């Protein structure tokens, strides 16, 4: 079983309640079965063959955002979110994945996106972006849109392309962009994720690009961390960058300049970009270029930033809990006195958009595109 | 459908009617998460592949009225109620040895009001201490309650066990912070104690319920005394050649009416093992932390006076760096990999409290007895003295058996035998069964020894208030279900 690799983590945490307080799911459900101790104990019982992956147990395993916030608060480098992802892979191997996860997988297989929406939506957006990019077949940069951006937050892609254009970057967009496989990995479908990874890797190779730039931390994590784990290598020499990182280098190289703005803003570190990607400084440097001292940190930031609730496949499997978690983030952002909450993940933006709480939010690409000096 | 199944489903249905479908669970995965706290006995059984005792339901009430209705249902069906907060106790107090309903109070987490004139706060008791302190600190206030389980325990858990935080030497045990309580009695009525405790209007009703571990009701709301976040809080570390001189320094600081927020005296072995391991301090002797907080001038004056006492007792000033190191890393002791529950070791804390006349003797006698009696288990015994009063101090002794029996029943017997020896040394020398972890199941058997005839009074009160004995049966020395 995949969870055998995590036996140290399971043993260390099966009786320890110390990180329950930061678990975004427990904050909503109050159910101890959702926290690090509850999950580790549950998996211990399964690994000792005292329990099976029955439906409620599987449900709890999928009620985790894999935000890694529990790891940020803990000591000793235990990989609790890795443990949960491994458990999901075991659940899938036993054919016990929840219906919502199976639907997302089927959607990717049939439509190339987990939402099950028409490929034409994505290709239409791609065509629009390609027109802006100048219809190149080869370019220095491949801007990878990603499923959530394409189907839920296309304005992020449009803003990103506007910045690339302004900087005079030679870039291209795929006409028929596939899923990167991140949702499959997060939901436990590792073989399917591997298939998507191979497919995208080959597509990148054919493109001849030197950089893959994406606005999505989930795509970014898949390409940089999970592909190698799955035994899929990107073409030699190709670097993967998140837009926050890449745009910051464009500013440093003076390829774009930004004008000052007066709104008070704050920044939310997306879990996969910050805690897992360690990209904390670059988005802040960018925002400070625009907002200076009007940039206010939230109380919990960087390694200990709150989770928006949408990660780890929660937007597919547990949208109601995801939306409730997101309310906590908006509350924190409001306390900072900010007028705009900036994030750098389409899943965060999508979840924020679904909230009943009203706070203006923007992806960092939108914020920068609106701040480009003429 | 058999009768048991019928009753189970009826209770489930009634609970759901009160708290909604998301507010109750009888799913095995959720039940599993509630079959352990941090007590050794369930842990060793689970570790060895055995089942631990379990509730039949977990209910999540959202307000006091729902707690009351749940308790009434439990009375009607004659099923036990076990209140639970963070599940971080180490006595089995929040476990369900007789099944029944765990009433998880974590949805009762509202800060209701702050009286900024009197500096008090009214708050529901399911709030995690870390969350309460966060809310208070945003307004410049503090409860001053920072126990080891700060992150994972609820206010209700502290009130039910009369817990102490690491700064209790100044701020007091949690029960000393209480002005008034709201609670649900074992028969479901909701009662409020008088608005302030310092009166001459009969006995203090708060004291009847504080520390009763859910056996006499569920505390749902408390009004507590706040303090301003201090202008300065500073910790200084000192090193003594031996424990006795360190304890003498602590005693004199307290008796000369200084008011440190912390005095923390580690014995030589604790210094050698845990202080080194977690804080990185590598010298031998007895390591102590003395801290003060409050207005800058008062802190400076008290530090000067305390240092004079410490110099007289030949303590070496290690400076604030090592004191701050302890404060910054005080919770590290309780996270894996330092967290002993993560290891295969058997360990326990036989904490007790007594007067200055007795406390060092209790330490030495307990160490001698435990190390002597269990030498064949290569037991290690160390201690620190971490909560101080103006008459005495706590002894917080930790024992570790690195290679306990494989069989969980044998392991449990050894564990209980160690407590039998340790606790009885405390009792024989003027100490109490426990200082701040509570009694739960773990120490229930010592309650009659502790109280003598006084325990009959407690039992009578229990019988009157809880005629069906549904409230947390088996805990605090009261009878099982």
Secondary structure of B23-59 in the HEC alphabet? HEECCHHHHHHCCCCCCHHHHHHHHCCCCCCCCCEEE
Among the listed residues A361, A319, A321, the one whose alpha carbon sits nearest the alpha carbon of residue A344: A361
pTM score, two decimals?
A: 0.96
Nearest residue in B to A17, CA atom: B152
Backbone angles phi, psi at B306, to 5 degrees: -65, -40
Rounded to a whole number of angstroms, the distance from the CA of A55 to the nearest CA of chain B is: 9
Name the more confident of B279 and B88.
B88
CB contact under 8 A, A42 and B33: yes
How close A84 comes to chain B (CA, Å)?
15
CATH 3.40.640.10 fits B111-228, yes or no: no
Looking at residue B79, the DSSP 8-state letter turns out to be -
pLDDT at B318 over 90: yes
Contact B104 A30 (CB under 8 A): yes
Contact B104 A57 (CB under 8 A): no
**pLDDT tens profile B8-29:** 999 999 999 999 999 999 999 9
Asked if the Cβ–Cβ distance from A16 to B138 is below 8 Å, we say no
Nearest to B337 among A12, A19, A54 (CB): A12
In the block, which residue shows the tokens 């009351």? B68
Point out the residue among A30, A42, A45 whose CB comes nearest to the CB of B60. A30
Nearest CA in chain B to A10: B342
What is the rounded average pLDDT for all residues in chain B? 96
Could you state, in order of their start, the residue ranges of all structural domains in chain B?
3-106, 111-228, 232-334, 344-442
Domain A257-369 belongs in CATH node 3.40.50: yes
Q: Which of B54, B90, B153, B336 to mutate to test the interface with A (most CBs of A within 10 A)?
A: B336
CA distances from B246 to A340, B243, B257, B286, B426 (A): 55, 5, 17, 7, 21
Beta-sheet strands, E only, within chain A: 141-144, 171-172, 211-214, 239-242, 265-267, 340-343, 360-363
**B27, B51, B334 ranked by CB distance to A18: nearest:** B334
- The model's pLDDT over B362-398, given as tens digits with 9 standing for 90+, comes to 999 999 999 999 999 999 999 999 999 999 999 999 9
**pLDDT for the residue A11:** 96
The residues with which A240 forms a beta bridge, in sequence order, are A212
pLDDT of residue B2: 67
Residue B399 φ/ψ, nearest 5 degrees: -115, 145
Confidence of residue B274 (pLDDT cuts 50, 70, 90): confident
Chain B positions touching A56 (Cβ under 8 A) are: 27-30
Chains A, B: CB pairs < 8 Å = 102
Encode pLDDT of B297-306 as tens digits: 999 999 999 9
List residues of B whose CB lies inside 8 A of any A CB: 22, 25, 27-30, 32-34, 36, 38, 43, 46, 49, 51, 58, 60, 86-88, 104, 106-107, 128, 130-131, 138, 149, 151-152, 331-332, 334-339, 341-342
Numbered residues of chain A with Cβ closer than 8 Å to any chain B Cβ: 11-21, 29-33, 35, 37-38, 41-42, 44-45, 48, 50-51, 54, 56-57, 59-60, 73-76, 78, 335
Query: Would you tell me which CATH number, out of the four given (3.40.50.1860, 3.30.930.10, 2.30.29.30, 3.30.1300.10), belongs to the domain A102-250?
Result: 3.40.50.1860
Q: Which residues of A touch B334 (CB under 8 A)?
A: 18
pLDDT tens per residue, range B161-215: 999 999 999 999 999 999 999 999 999 999 999 999 999 999 999 999 999 999 9
B86 CB neighbours in chain A (<8 A) are 17, 20
**Which pLDDT tens digit goes with each residue over A36-64?**
999 999 999 999 999 999 999 999 999 99
Pull the structure tokens for residue B80. 């036990």
Partners of B392 in the beta sheet?
Answer: B355
| A126-132: Cβ within 8 A, 24+ apart | A126/A150, A126/A173, A126/A174, A126/A175, A126/A176, A126/A177, A127/A175, A128/A158, A129/A157, A129/A158, A129/A161, A129/A173, A130/A172, A130/A173, A130/A175, A132/A161, A132/A162, A132/A165
What are the start-end ranges of the E strands in B213-270? 218-225, 227-228, 232-240, 262-266
Measure A42 CA to nearest chain B CA, in Å. Answer: 7
Whole-angstrom distance, CA of residue B47 vs CA of residue B51: 9
Predicted local distance difference test score (pLDDT) of residue A328: 87
Tell me which residue in B86, B138, B336 faces A78 most closely, judged by beta carbons: B336
Q: How do the domains of chain A map onto residue ranges?
A: 2-96, 102-250, 257-369
Sheet holding A340-343, edge to edge: A265-267, A340-343, A360-363
Q: Which two tokens stand for residue B381?
A: 């015994």
Q: Which of A321-335, B243-257, B453-467 is predicted with the least confidence, judged by mean pLDDT?
A: A321-335
Contacts of B58 in chain A (CB under 8 A): 31
Fold of B232-334: Alpha-Beta Plaits (3.30.70)
Among the CATH numbers 3.20.20.370, 3.20.20.70, 3.30.300.330, 3.40.640.10, which is that of B344-442?
A: 3.30.300.330
> pLDDT tens digits for B203-249?
999 999 999 999 999 999 999 999 999 999 999 999 999 999 999 99
Assess whether the region A102-250 and the region A257-369 belong to the same CATH fold: yes
Could you tell me the fold of the domain covering B3-106? 3.30.43
**Chain A interface, mutation test: which of B19, B25, B29, most A Cβ atoms within 10 Å?**
B29
Nearest to A15 among B43, B138, B335 (CB): B43
Instruction: Taking residues A139-151, report their average pLDDT.
Output: 97
Is B1 a residue whose pLDDT tops 60? no
Look at residue B72 in the predicted model and tell me its pLDDT.
98
Query: What per-residue string of b and e applies to B342-360 under the rule 16 or more CB within 10 Å gives b?
Result: beeebbbbbbbbbebebbb
pLDDT score at B228:
98
Chain-chain contact of B336 with A16 (C-beta, under 8 angstroms): yes
Nearest chain B residue to A32 by CA distance is B33
Query: Over the stretch B56-113, which tens digit does the pLDDT of each residue have?
Result: 999 999 999 999 999 999 999 999 999 999 999 999 999 999 999 999 999 999 999 9
């Amino acid at each position: 079983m995949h969870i055998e690799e995590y036996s140290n983590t399971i043993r260390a945490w099966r009786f320890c309640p110390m990180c329950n307080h930061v678990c975004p799911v427990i904050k909503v459900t109050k159910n101890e079965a959702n926290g690090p101790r509850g999950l580790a104990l549950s998996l211990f019982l399964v690994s000792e063959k005292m329990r099976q992956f029955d439906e409620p147990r599987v449900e709890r395993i999928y009620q985790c955002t894999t935000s890694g916030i529990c790891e940020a608060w803990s000591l000793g480098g235990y990989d609790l979110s890795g443990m949960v992802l491994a458990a999901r892979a075991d659940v899938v191997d036993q054919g016990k994945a929840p219906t919502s996860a199976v639907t997302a997988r089927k959607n990717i297989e049939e439509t190339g996106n987990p939402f099950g929406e028409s490929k034409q939506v994505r290709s239409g957006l791609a065509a629009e972006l390609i027109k802006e990019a100048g219809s190149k077949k080869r370019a220095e940069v491949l801007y990878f849109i990603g499923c959530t951006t394409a189907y839920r937050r296309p304005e992020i892609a449009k803003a990103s392309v506007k910045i690339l254009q302004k900087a005079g970057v030679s870039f291209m967009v795929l006409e028929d962009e596939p899923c990167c496989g991140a949702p499959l990995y997060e939901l436990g479908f590792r073989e399917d994720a591997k298939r998507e990874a191979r497919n995208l890797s080959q597509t990148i190779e054919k493109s001849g690009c030197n950089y893959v730039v994406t606005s999505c931390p989930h795509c970014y994590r898949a390409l940089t961390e999970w592909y190698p784990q799955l035994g899929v290598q990107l073409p030699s020499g190709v670097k993967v960058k998140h837009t926050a990182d890449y745009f910051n280098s464009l500013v440093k190289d003076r390829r774009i300049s930004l004008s000052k703005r007066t709104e008070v803003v704050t920044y939310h570190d997306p879990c996969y970009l910050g805690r897992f990607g360690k990209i904390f400084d670059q988005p802040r440097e960018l925002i400070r270029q625009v907002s200076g001292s009007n940039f206010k940190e939230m109380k919990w930031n960087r390694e200990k930033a709150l989770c928006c609730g949408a990660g780890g496949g929660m937007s597919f499997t547990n949208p109601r809990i995801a939306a409730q978690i997101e309310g906590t983030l908006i509350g924190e952002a409001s306390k900072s006195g900010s007028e705009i909450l900036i994030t750098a993940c389409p899943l965060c933006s999508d979840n924020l958009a679904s909230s009943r709480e009203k706070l203006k939010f923007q992806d960092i690409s939108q914020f920068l595109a609106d701040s480009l000096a003429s | 459908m058999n009768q048991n199944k019928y009753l189970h489903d009826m209770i489930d249905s009634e609970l759901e009617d009160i708290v909604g479908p998301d507010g109750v669970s009888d799913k095995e995965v959720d039940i599993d998460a509630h079959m352990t706290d941090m007590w050794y006995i369930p842990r060793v059984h689970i570790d060895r592949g055995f089942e631990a005792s379990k509730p039949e339901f977990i209910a999540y009430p959202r307000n006091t009225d729902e707690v009351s209705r749940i308790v009434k249902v439990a009375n009607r069906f004659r099923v036990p109620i076990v209140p639970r907060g963070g599940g971080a106790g180490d006595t089995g107090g929040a476990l369900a040895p007789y099944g029944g309903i765990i009433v998880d109070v974590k949805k009762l987490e509202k800060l209701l009001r702050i009286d900024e004139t009197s500096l008090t706060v009214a708050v529901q008791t399911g709030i995690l201490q870390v969350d309460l302190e966060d809310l208070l600190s945003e307004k410049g206030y503090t409860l001053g309650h920072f126990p080891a389980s700060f992150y994972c325990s609820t206010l209700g858990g502290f009130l039910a066990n009369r817990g102490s935080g690491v700064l209790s030497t100044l701020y007091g045990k949690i029960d000393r912070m209480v002005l008034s309580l709201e609670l649900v009695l074992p028969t479901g009525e909701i009662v409020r104690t008088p608005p302030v405790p310092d009166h001459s209007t009969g006995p203090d009703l708060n004291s009847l319920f504080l520390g009763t571990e859910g056996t006499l009701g569920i505390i749902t709301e408390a009004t507590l005394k706040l303090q301003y976040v201090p202008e300065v809080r500073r910790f200084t570390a000192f090193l003594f050649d031996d424990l006795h001189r360190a304890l003498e320094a602590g005693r004199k600081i307290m008796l000369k009416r200084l008011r440190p927020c912390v005095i923390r005296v580690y014995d030589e072995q604790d210094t050698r093992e845990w202080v080194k391991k977690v804080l990185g301090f590598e010298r031998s002797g007895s390591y102590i932390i003395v801290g003060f907080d409050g207005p800058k001038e008062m802190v400076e004056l008290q530090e000067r006076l305390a240092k004079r006492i410490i110099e007289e007792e030949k303590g070496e000033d290690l400076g604030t760096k090592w004191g701050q190191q302890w404060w910054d890393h005080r919770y590290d002791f309780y996270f894996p990999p330092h967290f002993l529950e993560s290891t295969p070791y058997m360990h326990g804390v036989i904490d007790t409290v007594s007067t200055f006349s007795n406390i060092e003797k209790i330490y030495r006698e307990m160490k001698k007895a435990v190390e002597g009696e269990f030498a064949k288990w290569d037991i290690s015994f160390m201690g620190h003295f971490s909560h101080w009063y103006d008459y005495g101090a706590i002894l917080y002794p930790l024992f570790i058996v690195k290679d306990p029996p494989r069989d969980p029943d044998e392991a449990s017997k050894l564990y209980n035998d160690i407590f039998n020896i340790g606790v009885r040394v405390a009792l024989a020398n003027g100490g109490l069964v426990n200082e701040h972890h509570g009694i739960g199941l773990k120490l229930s058997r010592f309650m009659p020894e502790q109280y003598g005839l006084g325990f009959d009074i407690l039992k009578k009160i229990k019988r009157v208030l809880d005629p069906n004995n549904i409230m947390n049966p088996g805990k605090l020395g009261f009878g099982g279900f």
